[in-house]
Structure 1
Amino acid sequence: MLCFSITLLLSATCLLVNAVAETVTTCEGDNVHRLSCDIGVISVETVLYGLADSGMCSGGKPLQEVSESCSPLRTVDNLKTRCNGKRVCEVTESVFGASQSCSGTFKYVQTNYTCLPAIHLVTCEHSVAHLQCDVGQIIHVYGADYGRRDQTTCSYKRPPSQIQNTDCSNPTNIVSDSCNGENSCTVKASNSVFGESCVGTLKYLEVAYVCEYPDPKAEESTHIGVISVQAALYGRADNVTCSEGRPAEQLQNTQCSQDGTKDILKERCDGKKMCELNMQLVRTSEPCFHTYKYLETNYTCFPAIHIITCEQSLAHLYCDVGQVIFVLGAYYGRSDQTTCSYKRDANQLENVYCSRSTRIIVANRCNGKNSCTIRVGSPLFEDPCVGTHKYLELSYVCEYPELTPV
């Protein structure tokens, strides 16, 4: 017997001040190049498409394919147009076009970007977007896009045919031209304003903007923390919790506790922003027959750097000078259908119960170093679900190393 819904949900809402620049590297091939911000929106700084480092993405490649004589293309405008102002942006190398100077050379895409604090607004087609600032402040638009990039946004009661095209993107300057410098602004999300980018698809307008004083004031940016499980109980510690409608004999044993529950929760949840797990995974034994049980978890939100890297891309971990990496958690697999999903077949995304802890592997490679690069995929990580397109989710902190007394 137990008292709990089928899913345990832990979510972290801690804030970490002072955003740092992010770097994403994706090797050549039909791979997803994914930029994302936990808080705020993307602002692309630099983009490199080509080969500037022969050691990057060179595993198993013949020498002639990794020559550093390839002059990389810096196609920052392409990615700025597609990604600035979004929380998540997924593209493939096709958006960069062909690099004739690098013909026959194995290439990669590397993007440096920051996460800017912003107001993020999504407005469904045929509705009106309202941009509003406080008295004395004015609007500054970071980016706007009219189209569709997933099958869930603005999908209520819509037939599949209207939401299946997720490769419908139309970055636009219309919003910034209309609203920049204004205290408030109204824009209708419609084809008559933005044009018809994909016939038959229900679209939405995605806008990111900030409110600033005419003499802009500096603002700090924030990031989300991650889960750190402190204690977990599966059993019963009192006769009040989850007691409604239960006979007294099912509540009287208050010394009931399953061994190892905390370890299960820590293994599956530490280092994540959100953790959902099936109770069947927690209930490994019967600690007390004829007692109505419950699961109780105490956890904190630990300030940390949280990154997600798509399969066949490179995860970059780095700290300020004098600091070293300490990995809190790492998981390889898939737990939702939207992350790293750009231009992927549905059968590569449907298994969302595919996740394996890789903390020890990542920690062994990165802990104690100032910077570290991990290539996501085999042979480093075993495949937890063949045929599923996976990603690496990890969190870490930067700390000063302990000094050994002389």
Structure 2
Amino acid sequence: MTTSMRHLVWSSFLMSCLVNECLSLVCLNCSSTLSPRDCTDVTTCASNEVCFADILSTADGIKHVYGCRSAMQCGVAIVGKRSNSNCSQCCQGDLCNAFLCGETDGLTTSGPVCYSCGERPNSDGCSKIRQCDRDQVCELYPSITSISHRLVYSTDCQSRTICESRIKATNSFHPGNVCGSICCDTNLCNKANCANTTITVSGDAIICEGSSGYIQCPPGKKIAVSDAYYGRTNDGSVCPFSSIFDLNCRAADSFTKINNTCSNKQQCFLTATNAMYGDPCSGTYKYIEVKFTCVVVV
């Protein structure tokens, strides 16, 4: 491809970014490595950025640099600049900079490339990756820590058998998938947005409309629900919102649904939506409230 043709390609891409918001790419992100295979960090680009790779000759040898770069900078000065000793190229696509500047095996094809960050408090903040083996999949696994009873998310490569069995185990606590439970086999697939998920260990749990949450008892105890509803009975101090008109609002059968989901279980998962419980007070911002205690398993 000639330089003028490359400029035309990037000009078309830049025009598309002006008309439509560009997708945020995930790119290798390392300041000095020997090859893309040695780069285990990634970054998410801004909407006007693409992935780049620079290969530089230094006093210490060849240096590989990866990251995000302005698409406009790529279109003007970067694409196609190559010599025997250095190279600067850009591309559009997740992890595509592993294959720039003549690299043919930047990422192997033995298995998927997965996020790999161990236990973290959120499900989508990982910036480390790992190349999995052929018989492995990417896993995102939520769990509750035994000491602090906090919700954490683990990301890594995992055997498909173990991954799928762990999802079945977490599903036994509640109907449906736990937020974030994933077994998948494509690059960077073990990521989910569970930012609105909360956890309450005992007492009075509040889950605002549109969010999800766990309630849990310590090992050896089970949940005993004394009252629960989806609606609103409190003023704006609980789940504050501009649209609050009804303070005597309880969805019919919401107690039964919540009680059936949580009672006599160590842990349960609830989502506060009209789709789940109906809309008992249209126009008012609602929430789930669950009053519960943890009782000893007899």
TM class, shorter-chain normalised? 0.3 to 0.5
Q: Looking at both structures, which has the greater relative contact order when contacts are Cα pairs under 8 Å and sequence separation is at least 6?
A: 1
TM-score, normalised with respect to structure 2 = 0.36
